[in-house]
Amino acid sequence: MVAQRIGIVWNPSKVSERELRTAWDDAVTQFDGPRPDASWFETSPDDAGLGATAAALARGCDVVVAAGGDGTVRAVAEALGDSGSPAADLGVVPLGTGNLLARNLSIPLGDPRAAFTRVLTHEATPLDLGRVQFTLANTKDADVDPAAEPDGVKNETPPVELQHGFVVMVGFGIDAQMIVETDDELKAKAGWLAYVESLGRAASGAEVVEFSLALDGEAPQTEHAHTLLIANCGSIQGGVTLLPDARPDDGRLDLLVLRAADAGAWLDTMRNFVWHNGLKRMFTQSTAAESTESTEHLQARRVSVVLPEARAFEIDGDDIGEVTAFTVEVLPEALRVR
């Protein structure tokens, strides 16, 4: 279906309006079809794209393009699919550091014109939307002088219940800690390679914790692990696939549980990634990810986790803060993506 009206939700911190409009004009000029109307909606530090997407839908746009980083893509996707059915087609022009959804869908990176061309020429296909509800841990107010507090009273804010949509993955552990540890200035200069620099610190600080894990409404089980990822897509930066069974439109969530606590267990984890779910899978054309003692692959449609203490948490590559509990569910085919 040819789009009649396209809304472009763009993040001005990632690209200039002039550069983006030039890329759009170049793509439309080469498009063999009627020129669609385009409306432009700018994000802001206070609104990553939810409000801009609502404005695009109110304008009657049948395609909304997220032009920005993972946060912009996530916000636009949430606005389009949170009802459980697509409000309009989703397009992606990746302009961030991680560009996680674009990597999983083979959308051109570093070339806005090519990404716009894909939006104009590709048919829309189904895409699941994940939804996570979480309890953000209480935090100490850094602006208050401790000496001014009454004896025995800590100036803390109460826990906050929040909800977000996501299209790639959420979780705690090494992945989340790596994002926390990444230097912003280095990320601006080196792109996704900046994450590699922080990976060693994140891995060395990995601590196995006991937590409650419940799948699909069954009774909670006690789990021991340092990392839990819950994903709709399986690949991250550098072409690394962590969850080989993950499909963005299968109506299921894929879980990766990492338990390695010593050098031997880490070797087992690496063997699982490189051999069991890498080379062996390619040679044997295996259809299911293999688990080992240190690395377990699971699937579910709903996941509930309760942590004994707050842990850093990430949603689609963004540091959200520390959480103490979260529930994740999948909304099958809530989106259509070009």
* CB-based contacts of 212, cutoff 8 Å, min separation 6: 220, 221, 222, 223, 304, 305, 306
Bridge partner residues of 93 (DSSP): 67
**How many C-beta neighbours within 10 Å does residue 109 have?**
16
Nearest Cα neighbor of 313 from 126, 160, 101 is: 160
The 10s digit of each residue's pLDDT in 178-202 is 666 555 554 454 444 444 444 454 4
Bridge partner residues of 129 (DSSP): 331
Q: Is 106 helix (H, G, I), strand (E, B) or coil?
A: coil
Nearest Cα neighbor of 163 from 131, 139, 130 is: 131
Confidence of residue 68 (pLDDT cuts 50, 70, 90): very high
Token readout for 266 is: 């880490």
The 10s digit of each residue's pLDDT in 223-273 is 999 999 999 998 886 667 888 889 999 999 999 999 866 555 556 556 655
d(C-alpha 156, C-alpha 153), whole Å: 9
Nearest Cα neighbor of 86 from 94, 74, 78 is: 78
Q: Is 128 helix (H, G, I), strand (E, B) or coil?
A: strand
Token readout for 275 is: 């051999």
Q: Pairing between strand 63-68 and 5-10?
A: parallel
Q: Which residue type sits at 27?
A: A
d(C-alpha 88, C-alpha 77), whole Å: 10
DSSP for 290-316 reads ---SSEEEEEESEEEEEEEEEEEEEET
Longest dimension (CA), the chain: 73
* CB-based contacts of 189, cutoff 8 Å, min separation 6: none
The 10s digit of each residue's pLDDT in 196-220 is 444 454 455 568 899 999 999 999 9
**144 vs 85, higher pLDDT:** 85
Chain centre distance of CA 271: 26
Least confident of 31-35, 228-232, 297-301: 31-35
In angstroms, the Cα distances linking 305 to 63, 228, 300, 326 are: 35, 10, 13, 5
Confidence of residue 156 (pLDDT cuts 50, 70, 90): low
